[in-house]
Amino acid sequence: MDFAPGTGPVRHHDTGAWLARFAGRMLVACRTCGGRAVVVPRPGLPAPKYFSELLFQPRRLACGGCGTVADWSPQVRGAGLVGAVLGGSEDPFFRRPLWLQTRCVGHILWAYNEEHVDELSAYVGAQLRERGGAQPTMSMVARLPSWMKRADHRSDVLAGLETLRALAERSSPADRSDAAHERGDRSRAGRSMYFRGGPY
């Protein structure tokens, strides 16, 4: 077991954060030029009170390379809004391939942004993993696929995450990962709903 200098084994404490925590900013492949674009809440909106509200906020896709801009708004169904569902290697708003993708131990390793990569690296690199939070089974790390959690995959997954970290610094179409293409592995078919009383 590896140890941090003077502190014993490297630990990761799961705070119970959901995947939605990382949904505020997503790096994606531009539909026009293939370079790096960003998906963010539409400018001028108030900051969300809860991370889950990010799934219902109107979004804007903007590419600094070619100038492409697109907007997304949640569907209205009765008294509620139909929000996005997270998961899979496409952003849930515009269905564009995530920019941060790479092949890893026979799977696709992906992340929404640099903060997401940092959290995954902290978890994968830890020798002691402690659960926490009010609903630990709902947390992002608790729902990671088993291949990412295996000790014998640790070095490969960490190397893959370093690849994603490097990709986050690049933006031209030529920098696009060969893994960052449509593959139809979208999140489950269900949709989240938001009513006046809050999200359900």
In a domain, 155, yes or no: yes
- Residue 31 predicted with pLDDT over 70: yes
- Number of structural domains found in the chain: 1
Q: Is the pTM of this model over 0.85?
A: no
In a domain, 146, yes or no: yes
In a domain, 200, yes or no: no
In a domain, 192, yes or no: no
The first and second tokens of residue 72, run together, are 């997304």
Contacts of range 57-60, beta carbons closer than 8 Å, 24 or more positions apart: 59/93, 59/94
**Distant-in-sequence, close-in-space partners of 128: CB < 8 Å, separation ≥ 6:** 9, 10, 11, 12
In a domain, 2, yes or no: no
Closest CA to 63 of 38, 97, 88, 82: 38
The first and second tokens of residue 35, run together, are 């370079």
pLDDT for residue 46? 86
Cβ-contact 81, 56 below 8 angstroms? yes
In a domain, 194, yes or no: no
- Residue 196 predicted with pLDDT over 50: no
**Highest-confidence segment of 5-19, 136-150, 152-166:** 152-166
Query: What is the mean predicted confidence (pLDDT) over 102-110?
Result: 96
- Residue 193 predicted with pLDDT over 50: no
In a domain, 198, yes or no: no
In a domain, 197, yes or no: no
Domain that holds residue 130: 9-178
